Amino acid sequence: MWRLDEPGDRVLLCNLHRAEAIVKRWLARNGRDVAVRDAQLSVEERDELKLVYRPGDVCHTLTSSASNLYYISSPDG
């Protein structure tokens, strides 16, 4: 529902715990009384909120200790 499934030509990572908190704050700021699980964000909103990042981005690395919190998407599925 957060349009995490359109990575383009590279792998995307999303920390789902972090993303949920960001979306909750964004909904509250915009006066939207909607549950996070029902929120629909466009790719543009996803990128504006910096919900996804690419492996190798500064301070964003997939580690085994936090790997259960990550959604991983790639162009090939």
End-to-end CA distance of the chain: 17
Return the pLDDT at 13. 80
Predicted TM-score (pTM) of this structure = 0.65
Residues 8-67: pLDDT tens digits?
A: 667 778 888 888 888 888 888 888 776 777 777 888 888 888 888 877 776 666 666 666
Return the pLDDT at 71. 75
Q: Residue 42, exposed/middle/buried by CB under 10 A (0-12, 13-18, 19+)?
A: exposed
Structure tokens at 59: 């301070």
